[in-house]
Amino acid sequence: MSTSHQTTPARPGPPTGRSPLPAPNPAPPRWRLWILPIGIALALVFLLHPGSKAAPTRKLTYTGFVNEVTANKVSTATITSTGSVTGTLHGGAAYTSQIPTALGDNGLSPLLRAHKVQVTGTIPSTSSLLSVLSFLLPLVLIVGVFVWIGRKSRKQLGGGLGGIMGIGKSKAKVYDEERPTTRFSDIAGYEGSKAEVMEVVDFLKHPGRYAAAGAVGPKGVLMVGPPGTGKTHLARAVAGEAGVPFFALSGSSFVEMFVGVGASRVRDLFADARKRSPSIIFIDEIDAIGGRRGPGGFGSNDEREQTLNQLLSDMDGFEPGAAVVVMAATNRAEILDTALLRPGRFDRTVEIPLPNQRERTAILAIHSKTKKLGPHVDLDAVSRGTPGFSGADLANLVNEAAINAVRARRTVISASDFDAARDRLLIGRRDASNALLPEEKHAVAVHEAGHALVALLSDHADPVAKVTILPRGAALGVTEQLPISERHLYPESYLTDTLAVRLGGRAAEILVLGEPSTGASNDLAGATDLATRMVREWGFSTEVGPIGYGPAGPSRDNPFAGRPYAEETQRAIDTEVARLLREAEVQATQLLREHLDTLGRVIDLLLERETVDGSDLAAVAGMSERAGPTRAVVPQAAAMAPVDPQPKAEAGPGSHTAAAGPRGTPRRFLP
């Protein structure tokens, strides 16, 4: 015996290897939509329908009303505060009248009492219809709002919890059939980082290959690197390459003003990811919820801490066989909670550093694909002159060069456009209105000539790329140095010569002008910071010894910390810092005094040209330019931004910049 039954046609299933998607809830019958309007209409009919037909009412003028009272025909009278009179006549007929406002009830009350009329006074009330509407209107509005929210939620969430109940739903954007177009081939450099991330993607696409060798894939991958290095861009490439659902959201999207919402969204996110496993969850800026707990962290009973606790629980409590990998990105890995970084949660950390010279060339080539470059533009020369630039910096550099070409009414980007773009990004906009007085221009030339000449005469200093006395931004003058090669370690001799170059401008002012000026304020601040770190952190002092005390004062780990050493140690550090700065000033002064004629020629050349290349400067000084990157495209390095330039009202003769360690922090030196 067989039975037949009718079934609802099934939705097309997902690709093979994935769990089927839940079917949407069926739409409610149309007759349900009429229940609320019909109920309201019946209530109105019931409340407003009269029980019996009322007798006709006579309208009386005030004179007619008085005549009826005088004739003893009025039985009752109801007077309101507005002067209206209603009642019944002898015989049961109803009447209505109006007392003129000017008359009031003068003489009316004694007349009514004399003719034995039953008088009552009432306050006028609204009609029964208005009373019912005032009661029902708020109710109708509330019900309508909930119905609207429910319909909207059904459309957006596919029949899930609607309205306010949907506040704990995950806000992750799911990339499944429609994936981003970014691929790993669109990312230049970072071959090691891409290999580690590709391993995760390959594990999710071919889990059997790893299971055969007994290998277990990572549960979490944390991408760490400075801002602008392309962590989110790499995640987009993962979404484009992966053949699995990809859930992408920001760490801040978990936190709301309602308590428990963040933890609810974490649970909902992982529940969705498990249903569609194998899958990838990407959390950008995870430090928004993954900060260290306890003293110096978020504190107890905090919404973000509850969200972090839920995240820790879900990452370490995956269902058996649920292939879900969590990827996250941050540039503040030092503040993440240690429980989040342990094996079993984020058990793989991918470092994404600043690109090297070869990688910068490839990145520039990618960003220049849609640009028209002139025949003399050498991207390899541009990359050699951009140490310390991130991928975002390089994209901005190419865009600024294109904007500079548009200003010149050209569509082809030339080498000079890259040069101008570099100056615009690192130093500031050229301000033609900020003209210097003749004596100020001479003082700036003396100051910058001192920096440049000390750099030329120092054996371990970086070569000079360009010197200018044209005001840019808050700097009245700039000396730019370009390193011969990208350094990873900085010897003491290099740092000592850097201090001398810092103080070369002040030494030139004292020798030529007879007194220093406020133009050396930025140089002194940068030199003091560098000397302090040489003594306190790097052990370049025989008096203090090879001890690294670390930075003094509050830190991100402990905002309430003070100096990690005694006052006597601080006094010794201050003494050694002052010694290093005095020795650097003596070194700079001695070099300039021995070459006063050369200093004068450099000053005259700066006053004549206002901007001098490193090769021209070396020719004037009678020296051969040290081997280094060419000046064909861009002359300065990425770390050459003016050192905390003073406001224009306080700026002195000039501001010096250096390629490596201008703020006392050599790049890639510290772990």
Nearest in space to 132 (alpha carbons), one of 42, 205, 33: 42
Q: Residue 209 has which token pair? A: 């290959």
Residues contacting residue 37 through CB under 8 Å, at least 6 positions apart: none
How far apart are the C-alpha atoms of 159 and 166, rounded to whole Å?
11
From 68, 285, 448, 576, active-site residue? 448
DSSP 30: G
Q: Which 3 state secondary structure label does DSSP give 113?
A: helix
| Strand-pair partners of 119 | 77
Strands of 279-284's sheet in order across: 173-175, 246-250, 279-284, 324-330, 220-224, 348-351
In degrees, rounded to 5, the angle at the alpha carbon of residue 197 between the alpha carbons of residues 324 and 248 is 50
End-to-end CA distance of the chain: 78
Q: How would DSSP label each residue in 367-419?
A: HTTTS-B-TT--HHHHHHT-TT--HHHHHHHHHHHHHHHHHTT-SSB-HHHHH
Query: 214: which DSSP letter?
Result: T
CB 300 within 8 A of CB 254: no
- The residue type found at 518 is T
Say how many C-beta atoms besides its own lie within 10 A of residue 486's C-beta.
16
Residue 286 sits at the vertex; the CA angle it makes with 280 and 292, to the nearest 5 degrees, is 130
Burial code of 392-416, b = ≥16 C-beta within 10 A, e = fewer?
Answer: ebbbbbbebbbebbeeeeeeebbbb
Give yes or no: 305 in active site.
no
Strands of 255-373, DSSP E: 279-284, 324-330, 348-351
Given a contact cutoff of 8 angstroms between Cβ atoms, the answer to whether 658 and 640 are in contact is yes
Active site residues: 448
